Amino acid sequence: MTSGNFKIGVLVSGRGTNLQAIIDTIENGELNARIAVVLSNKKDALALERARKKGIETVFLDPRQYAGKKEFDRALARELEARQVDLVCLAGYMRILGPEFIRKFEGKVINIHPSLLPAFPGLDVQQQALDYGVKFSGCTVHFVNEEVDAGPVILQAVVPVHPSDNAETLAERILIQEHLIYPRAIQMIVENRLHIENRKVSYKESVSQ
Ligand code: GAR
């Protein structure tokens, strides 16, 4: 694949610092991909603003305009299919994608999660980590399957938990690592370097670009 021909659709709901990291890594030449569209279920998501600033197409889909989750997911799928994206990246997208969507984009949806999965799936995960008393936490890039936060792990990064941490300080430390490993994981997919067997992801040498 020629550099920059690999098309990504990014799904967001919030401030979009991971989206920004993807944009910045494309701009500095370390990620050979193009963001075809940024889709949000929140009209005021700062992430949309970040995309517009860079001239990236944005689409807001209002969940209230659809009869249910299935119909919303179908609309989302239509937007992504219309742009023939090669990969769907969830970047702070706070809705659960239904099985129909996941099957349609099988093996082509990835997510970043702010814990070392399988520890602390779900929401408020930094607080979960603090309440449990773990000494290390981190973040995980994984393929998305039909179970929440449970798909094959692509990359993880570890950060220490300090005795003085609260959920915000821990989240900030984890976020720094998120911004490094998410674009890196995408680049590995662009380079076709991932092999999955029995849910285990292994890394190959670059075979095609
Ligand atoms: C990130 O910490 C991301 O890992 C998390 O939401 C934040 C989004 O920040 N995602 C999840 O918790 C998904 N379950 P961002 O909008 O600044 O990228």
Name the pTM for this structure: 0.96
From 113, 162, 179, 195, the catalytic residue? 113
CATH of the domain at 177: 3.40.50.170
Q: Whose CA is nearest to atom 3 of ligand 1?
A: 92
The answer to whether 166 and 130 are in contact (CB under 8 A) is yes
Task: List, in sequence order, every residue forming a beta bridge with 38; answer none if it has no partner.
Answer: 10, 58
Per-residue pLDDT at 207: 60
Ligand 1 interacting residues, C-beta cut-off 6 A: 14-18, 47, 91-92, 112-114, 175, 178
Per-residue pLDDT at 2: 47
Q: Is residue 146 part of a domain?
A: yes
Per-residue pLDDT at 96: 96
Q: Whose CA is nearest to atom 2 of ligand 1?
A: 114
Which pLDDT tens digits describe the chain residue by residue (209 residues)? 445 799 999 999 999 999 999 999 999 999 999 999 999 999 999 999 999 999 999 999 999 999 999 999 999 999 999 999 999 999 999 999 999 999 999 999 999 999 999 999 999 999 999 999 999 999 999 999 999 999 999 999 999 999 999 999 999 999 999 999 999 999 999 999 999 999 999 999 876 55
* CA distance linking residue 73 with residue 51, whole number of Å: 21
Domain count for the chain, please give it.
1
Cα separations (Å) of 58 from 5, 9, 102, 163? 19, 10, 22, 41
Q: Is residue 209 part of a domain?
A: no
Q: Is residue 161 part of a domain?
A: yes
Q: Which of 111, 137, 175 to mutate to test the pocket of ligand 1 (most atoms within 8 A of CB)?
A: 175
Per-residue pLDDT at 205: 84
Q: Which atom of ligand 1 sits closest to the CA of residue 122?
A: 14
Q: Is residue 49 part of a domain?
A: yes
- Active site annotation includes 113: yes
Instruction: Name the residue range of residue 106's domain.
Output: 3-203
Q: Is residue 208 part of a domain?
A: no
Preceding omega of 152 cis (within 30 degrees of 0): no
Angle made by CA atoms 161, 125, 30, in degrees to the nearest 5 = 80
